[in-house]
Amino acid sequence: MKTKLQLMTLHAVTTVAFAAVAVTAVACAGTPAASPPSPSTATLAQVYFWRARPAKIEEYTRYIRDVAEPIDHAAQRTGAFQSVTTYMASDSTVPWTHMRVFLLR
């Protein structure tokens, strides 16, 4: 059985995760770095986001484009997931600079 503290912590983490996704809609302002996903019936997604150091933003962006995306597209062709979209925040006040959304199934 979870303690009250564990439940409060779980609630706080869930709230932060929900807030991060909500901020995505506002901060991205439709600026995907990769091609947008095709319409699908996905019901499950995995979201990764991080904040690159100011001097490393271009390096992270280049790595995603040149290394991660070719690997991801190969995995997508084998059915590992339905689609992946990379977003870059246009608002410097959000807690992330890059976000990748994988539609799984």
How many other C-beta atoms are found inside a 10 Å radius of the C-beta of residue 93? Answer: 7
Residue boundaries of the structural domains of the chain: 4-103
Q: What is the pTM of this model?
A: 0.62
pLDDT in tens, the chain (105 residues): 545 444 444 444 444 444 444 444 444 544 555 555 556 689 999 999 999 998 999 999 999 999 999 999 999 999 999 999 999 999 989 999 999 999 998
Please give the full DSSP string across 26-86, using - where no structure is assigned: HHHTT-BSSPPPPP-----EEEEEE---GGGHHHHHHHIIIIIHHHHHHHHHTTS-SEEEE
